[in-house]
A and B are shown apart, each in its own frame.
Chain A
């Protein structure tokens, strides 16, 4: 029952947040200098032509009326049409979401399967040789701070200059050619993963180092438990909350579209699409894209909080307002 009311409150606050976000983005997109009519008709259009275009898409109505129309249709699942292509917004996103989702999947998998173990390993080994610890810090520092476009450009150059068996640029849907898909996605995924792995490894390392100095770890050592046993039974769970937080944040960020990577490798993902839509004043697309990103962030945040409650009983009782 308590759990149910917790979820209910989260759902309500999510609805309110989304509503506010939709107003904000609606206002912001209409406040951008230059409207859709200017963009499609070019600089030499007559006022009559502009009025005609505006009337066709309902842009001559007041912004409040426009918002109301958008909101009422959006609630039925209809997010309007792209004014550039004339296709429904949902169809347009449906084409691009798989690309972004696949890239995000690679990124999160790399974070989980490489970043987390790397962080645990470097933390547990921190007591060892100093050189190795410094090397680890340097590597994670570089991974976090080298801009994606630098690393991406190097990779693009190397792999297009020399035939190394991987495709640079372009996207092959999994359904059409799984091997070709993998060949085209491996490079962008790898470039993306460097940052994601570095961030995850560093967060994990800090969390684990923080747990290792806790008195219950000393007590476990004093009971004669082996290092492996201590890491598995006591360290991982106690260090997990910051790691889960960084993982869900990275997921949300990647699902919003990795714009630079998409540009560099010419991938038709969500990120570049939204950026283009902003440039073309394709209002319905911008509106839906931003809302999508907001939904993803809210879902991820809620999952993070729910996970924290499960992982740490102290946090759970606080989050759910439970007193023993």
Chain B
């Protein structure tokens, strides 16, 4: 059967100043329609590259070395420019980190929404779209230029534009990272309720594991350019199977009982220049043994969970 989104063994390299940096090292992910997926990872884990690859939006310096991204069975990297644009227009929606920067500074907001509607609505449809993202004074917002809006308002506009075409997948790349904490919840609420209304699948890229687990049905953890753990949100948070996920949970403030200590993860995330020989997390892993740095860990499916770890089966029920 065809999945809504299927990413197979995706390998992406960036060429930077004569050096090659491997951003994705065989990432794999399958998403079905209607899921809400939170992709969690540190900066450099490859989550943004993964998000860009879905819409064929990788920058010129990036090269897909191996693997494929399929949306509804269409291989994104094999599409011609015209069909790729149609894919972006009709089936995908993107929301980026920088809300005001994502809007054209020299064009009134209403006009930008109108352009985003292209062929799917006219000027008269602009206000309802702004109303949908719960902007308080849509008419004033429509008349404004982006620099006259707050970050939260601008991000609502960006969401309205991304959702204008009723996309099948909404890819939100750290959509609230640049916003004040009070506004974050409101903006996330808008994203999730709009997506639920129109049956849009959400891919939310974030570094905030508990926030993601709270709203998403599924959590996908990335490390060193691979998906290391994937499973139902509540279970991944409650009983992580991958040592990295476990370390992430222990490093999160607010998830601990009074008196417990936060445990930082020692060391630095890897910067790969080619395929990782063993497990990318092995140097920082408290449970690593010899096989971990020698062999690439295989994907293990245990208890409705996909885990990329040599120890996955041993740790079943270990209650990390």
- A interface residues (Cβ-Cβ under 8 A, vs B): 127, 214-216, 218-226, 233-234, 237-238, 311-314, 324
Q: How far is the CA of A314 from the CA of B98 in the complex (A)?
A: 18
Interfacial residues of chain B within 99-125, with CB under 8 A of chain A in the complex: 101-107, 115-116
Q: Name the distance in Å between B81's Cβ and chain A's nearest Cβ.
A: 8
Asked if A314 contacts B102 (CB within 8 A), the reply is no
Q: Which residue of B lies closest to A316 (CB)?
A: B145
Asked if A226 contacts B85 (CB within 8 A), the reply is yes
B240 at the interface (CB under 8 A from A): no
Which residues of chain A have C-beta atoms less than 8 A from B55's C-beta? 222
Q: Which residue of A lies closest to B97 (CB)?
A: A215
Q: Which residue of A lies closest to B105 (CB)?
A: A314
Q: A127-B60, A219-B94, A223-B161 are in contact. List 4 more A-B contacts (CB 8 A).
A: A216-B102, A226-B85, A314-B145, A314-B147
Interfacial residues of chain B within 42-97, with CB under 8 A of chain A in the complex: 55, 57, 60, 84-90, 92, 94, 96
Q: Contact partner of A215 among B88, B96, B161, CB < 8 A?
A: B96
Asked if B92 contacts A222 (CB within 8 A), the reply is yes
Q: A223-B89, A324-B148 are in contact. Are A218 and B106 (CB under 8 A)?
A: no
| 7 closest residue pairs by CB, A with B | A224-B89, A224-B88, A222-B94, A215-B101, A224-B85, A313-B145, A219-B102
Q: Which residue of A lies closest to B101 (CB)?
A: A215
B158 at the interface (CB under 8 A from A): yes
Asked if A215 contacts B98 (CB within 8 A), the reply is yes
Which residues of chain A have C-beta atoms less than 8 A from B115's C-beta? 225, 233
Q: How far is the CA of A282 from the CA of B287 in the complex (A)?
A: 93
Q: How far is the CA of A306 from the CA of B52 in the complex (A)?
A: 40
Asked if A218 contacts B105 (CB within 8 A), the reply is no
Which residues of chain B have C-beta atoms less than 8 A from A324's C-beta? 148
Asked if A218 contacts B96 (CB within 8 A), the reply is yes
Q: A222-B55, A224-B89 are in contact. Are A216 and B105 (CB under 8 A)?
A: yes
Asked if A215 contacts B105 (CB within 8 A), the reply is no
Q: Which residue of A lies closest to B57 (CB)?
A: A222
Which residues of chain B have C-beta atoms less than 8 A from A222's C-beta? 55, 57, 88, 92, 94, 96
Q: How far is the CA of A225 from the CA of B161 in the complex (A)?
A: 13
Q: A219-B102, A233-B115, A313-B145 are in contact. Are A224 and B94 (CB under 8 A)?
A: no
Number of interface residues of B (CB under 8 A): 29
Q: Name the distance in Å between B107's Cβ and chain A's nearest Cβ.
A: 8
Which residues of chain A have C-beta atoms less than 8 A from B98's C-beta? 215
Q: Name the distance in Å between A230's Cβ and chain B's nearest Cβ.
A: 10
Q: Name the distance in Å between B169's Cβ and chain A's nearest Cβ.
A: 12
Asked if A216 contacts B103 (CB within 8 A), the reply is yes
Q: How far is the CA of A1 from the CA of B103 in the complex (A)?
A: 30
Asked if A312 contacts B106 (CB within 8 A), the reply is yes
Q: Name the distance in Å between B120's Cβ and chain A's nearest Cβ.
A: 12
Q: A215-B101, A222-B57, A222-B92 are in contact. Are A313 and B87 (CB under 8 A)?
A: no
Which residues of chain A have C-beta atoms less than 8 A from B89's C-beta? 223-224
Q: How far is the CA of A57 from the CA of B88 in the complex (A)?
A: 78
Q: List 25 A-B contacts (CB under 8 A).
A: A214-B101, A215-B98, A216-B103, A216-B104, A219-B94, A219-B96, A219-B158, A219-B161, A222-B55, A222-B94, A223-B161, A223-B162, A224-B84, A224-B85, A224-B88, A224-B89, A225-B115, A226-B85, A233-B104, A233-B107, A238-B104, A238-B106, A312-B106, A313-B105, A314-B145
Q: Which residue of A lies closest to B85 (CB)?
A: A224
Which residues of chain A have C-beta atoms less than 8 A from B145's C-beta? 313-314
Which residues of chain B have C-beta atoms less than 8 A from A225's C-beta? 85, 115
Which residues of chain B have C-beta atoms less than 8 A from A233's C-beta? 104, 107, 115
Which residues of chain B have C-beta atoms less than 8 A from A219's C-beta? 94, 96, 102-103, 158, 161
Which residues of chain A have C-beta atoms less than 8 A from B147's C-beta? 313-314
Asked if B86 contacts A224 (CB within 8 A), the reply is yes
Q: Name the distance in Å between A125's Cβ and chain B's nearest Cβ.
A: 12
Interfacial residues of chain B within 186-237, with CB under 8 A of chain A in the complex: none
Which residues of chain A have C-beta atoms less than 8 A from B101's C-beta? 214-216
Q: A218-B96, A219-B96, A324-B148 are in contact. Are A224 and B90 (CB under 8 A)?
A: yes
Which residues of chain B have C-beta atoms less than 8 A from A313's C-beta? 105-106, 145, 147
Which residues of chain A have C-beta atoms less than 8 A from B86's C-beta? 224
Which residues of chain B have C-beta atoms less than 8 A from A127's C-beta? 60
Q: Contact partner of B105 among A220, A224, A226, A238, CB < 8 A?
A: A238
